[in-house]
Amino acid sequence: MVLIAAPMASSGGGGITLLLPLILIVGMIWFMSRTQRKQKARQAETVAALQPGTKVITTSGQVGIVEEVDDEYVTLEISDGVLVQFVKAAIGRVIPEETEDVAADEPADEADGETATEPADVKESVEVPDAGADKVQDKPKLPPTHTEN
C-alpha cells in the first residue's frame, strides 16, 4: 500500500478569513466598553447633582428623599422620620418633580379659586331585578389532584 501526499486545495486569502472574526470580536468589545463608560458617566453626574430634597430610587428599588449628602454616603428619608444611609453608588436615578405636571392638569377656573356652582347631571338609578336569586350557584370545580386512569 502506497500513500501519496497531495497538497490540499486552499481557497486563497487565508489571512483575511482568520483576521475578519478577530476584527469583529475586538469591535464588539470596544462597543460594549464604550456603552459602560457612558453609563458610569451618567451615574457620576446623577450622584454629583444630589442635594437635599431630591426624590431618588436606589438600585435595589428603595424610594426616598435625600436628607444629607456626605463624601461616601447619602442619607434618605424613606418614611416619616425613618432615615437610612446608602452608598452613593447605590443611587439609581432621580425622580423628576411633579409640580409642573400638577399645575398643568388643573382646570383654569379651579386654579383661579372659583368653584362650579352648577349641579352635575344626576342620572336616576334603575333597579334591575336579580334573575338568578332563586338559583343556587354550583361549587367551583377544582382541578383533579391526581391523574385518573
Domains of the chain: 18-110 (2.30.30.30)
Q: How confident is the model at residue 134 (pLDDT cuts 50, 70, 90)?
A: low
pLDDT of the residue at 19: 87
Of the candidates 36, 95, 90, the one whose C-alpha atom is nearest the C-alpha of residue 60 is 90
Give CA torsion, residues 59, 63, 67, 71, to 10 deg.
0
pLDDT digit string (tens) for 31-70? 999 999 998 888 888 888 888 988 999 989 999 999 999 8
Q: What is the pTM of this model?
A: 0.45
Residue 86: count of CB within 10 angstroms of its CB = 19
- Maximum mean pLDDT: which of 4-13, 41-50, 129-138: 41-50
User: Phi/psi of residue 98, each to 5°?
Assistant: -105, 10
